């Protein structure tokens, strides 16, 4: 399989950069972005032995991709094979430690270096590899195919921005996509983009995030929080990025003019920002509490900063309205399907390219509402809390939309049948 000069150069430079991996990982560790006890995994050194039998490697970048892979993981476990899930972030590893079923394994993905990827493959000897969404790491792809493994993309997506960027390097992206035995796209648009960039075998299976199980919640904790906040107008600013917390605070101040008992929950996309958000909110004179300190939302609490991992399901069940972040700043939007599955009324900004299809479906069904101007978020909240019937109708529409669009995992598993090793012997 021929490769363009750009791919050869990339592979050579990443190989030459091997001595820099140590300082690079140490720097990331100092910023809380690496698990110090599992750093060898980032160099392809396994932290646990390879199990006997068949192994299917599933790779996702971070939390969202990892959650979307869980239905595949469960089916692979039931087949008798071992799913090996790799991700690249500490938060995704912590989440998977709680949510992977028995029989499934997690490792940190090796850095995209030829030596590290090769070392990973030599230890694990997987029978097939599935890559989630848009994880196009050149060394990972080249070394996986060099090892003779079937390779498929699941829930494939290419944003408009990425599509335009890759069109400027057609031979490079074509060389990467041509190595996939199958690309399962999440939408017609994504399928067309993948084919235009050089993927030879593309099928549209639908968005597997519609099939993801509802986010879990501790029922006892939910009951206690509901008791402590009973009768209040509760909304959540979920998966926020820097700048959106200030927007949420201004929305709270406007909402509190009409509903003085209103309670705002802020769940930052990166929980380590909790302390900084607390200081930012306090400058507005609002009484706030930080969940990571063990604080609870008391009667006087105006803003509850939920800077913990794996509890979004708890907060979605507690709040009546969900604003989904990364849609006013940073751009691209976060996953609206998770709150929609729990029948939440959804608000969002205009920057939702990463989940454009999902937001379009929810908006058209009346389960979600776009807020074009951040300064109008407070008014939108007032309108919803003042009209209980409309709020219930939005929540029902969001839940119904998710139910109608489910089924992508079954379609994907059917398409992957020739690739996955369920019926064959182990390699």
Any catalytic annotation for residue 65?
yes
Per-residue pLDDT, 351: 95
Cβ-count burial of 176 within 10 angstroms (0-12 exposed, 13-18 middle, 19+ buried)?
A: buried
Whether 5-206+407-416 and 219-404 share one fold: the answer is yes
What's the whole-model pTM score? 0.80
Calculate Rg over the CA atoms of the chain: 22
Catalytic residue chosen out of the listed positions 34, 41, 65, 338:
65
- Name beta bridge partners: 56: 83, 128
Per-residue pLDDT, 427: 41
Show me where the domains of the chain are located.
Answer: 5-206+407-416, 219-404
Per-residue pLDDT, 422: 67
- CA dist list (Å): 289 to 55, 219, 255, 275: 45, 21, 19, 10
Per-residue pLDDT, 227: 95
Per-residue pLDDT, 426: 41
Q: Which CATH superfamily is domain 219-404 in?
A: Glycogen Phosphorylase B; (3.40.50.2000)
Q: Which of 180, 188, 186, 312 is nearest to 239 (CA)?
A: 312
For residues 156 and 357, give the distance between their C-alpha atoms in angstroms, rounded to a whole number: 13
- Name beta bridge partners: 59: 86, 131
For residues 267 and 85, give the distance between their C-alpha atoms in angstroms, rounded to a whole number: 26
- Tens of pLDDT along the chain (427 residues) come to 678 999 999 999 999 999 999 999 999 999 999 999 999 999 999 989 999 999 999 999 988 888 889 999 999 999 999 999 999 999 999 999 999 999 999 999 999 999 999 999 999 999 999 999 988 999 999 999 999 999 999 999 998 889 999 999 999 999 999 999 999 999 999 999 999 999 999 999 999 889 888 899 999 999 999 999 999 999 999 999 999 999 999 999 999 999 999 999 999 999 999 999 999 999 999 999 999 999 999 999 999 999 998 899 999 999 989 999 999 998 889 999 999 999 999 999 999 988 888 999 999 999 999 999 999 999 999 999 999 999 999 999 999 999 999 999 999 999 999 999 864 434 4
Angle at 170 between CA 168 and CA 174, to 5 degrees: 150
Per-residue pLDDT, 119: 98
Per-residue pLDDT, 1: 64
Please tell me the CATH code under which domain 5-206+407-416 is placed: 3.40.50.11720
Break the chain down into helix, strand, coil percent, rounded to 5. 50, 15, 35
């Amino acid at each position: 399989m021929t490769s363009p000069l750009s791919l050869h150069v990339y592979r050579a430079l990443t190989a030459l950069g091997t001595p820099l991996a140590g300082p690079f990982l140490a720097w990331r560790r100092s910023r809380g972005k690496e698990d110090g006890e599992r750093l060898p995994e980032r160099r392809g050194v396994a932290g646990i032995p390879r199990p006997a039998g068949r192994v299917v490697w599933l790779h996702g970048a971070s939390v969202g991709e990892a959650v979307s892979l869980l239905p595949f993981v469960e089916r692979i476990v039931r087949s008798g094979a071992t799913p090996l899930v790799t991700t690249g972030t500490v938060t995704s590893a912590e989440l998977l430690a709680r949510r992977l079923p028995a029989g499934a394994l997690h490792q940190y993905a090796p850095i995209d270096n030829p030596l590290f990827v090769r070392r990973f493959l030599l230890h694990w000897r997987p029978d097939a590899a599935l890559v989630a969404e848009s994880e196009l790491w050149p060394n990972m792809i080249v070394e996986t195919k060099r090892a003779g493994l079937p390779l498929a993309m699941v829930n494939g997506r290419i944003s408009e921005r990425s599509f335009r960027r890759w069109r400027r390097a057609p031979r490079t992206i074509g060389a990467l996509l041509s190595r996939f035995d199958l690309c399962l796209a999440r939408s017609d648009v994504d399928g067309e983009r993948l084919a235009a960039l050089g993927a030879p075998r593309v099928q549209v299976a639908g968005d597997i995030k519609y099939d993801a199980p509802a986010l879990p919640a501790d029922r006892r904790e939910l009951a206690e929080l509901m008791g402590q906040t009973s009768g209040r107008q509760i909304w959540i600013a979920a998966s926020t990025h820097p700048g959106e917390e200030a927007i949420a605070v201004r929305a709270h101040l406007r909402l509190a003019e009409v509903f003085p008992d209103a309670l705002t929950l802020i769940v930052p996309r990166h929980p380590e920002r909790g302390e900084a958000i607390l200081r930012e909110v306090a400058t507005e004179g609002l009484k706030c509490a930080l969940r990571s300190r063990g604080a609870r939302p008391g009667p006087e609490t105006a803003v509850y900063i939920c800077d913990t991992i794996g509890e979004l399901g708890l907060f979605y069940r507690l709040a009546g309205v969900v604003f989904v972040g990364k849609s006013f700043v940073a751009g691209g939007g976060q996953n609206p399907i998770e709150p929609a599955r729990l029948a939440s009324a959804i608000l969002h900004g205009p920057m939702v390219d990463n989940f454009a299809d999902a937001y379009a479906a929810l908006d058209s069904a009346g389960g979600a509402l776009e807020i074009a101007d951040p300064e109008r978020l407070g008014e939108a909240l007032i309108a919803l809390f003042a009209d209980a019937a409309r709020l219930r109708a939005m929540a029902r529409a969001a839940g119904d939309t998710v139910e109608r669009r489910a089924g992508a995992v079954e379609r994907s598993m059917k398409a992957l049948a020739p690739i996955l090793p369920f019926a064959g012997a182990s390699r």
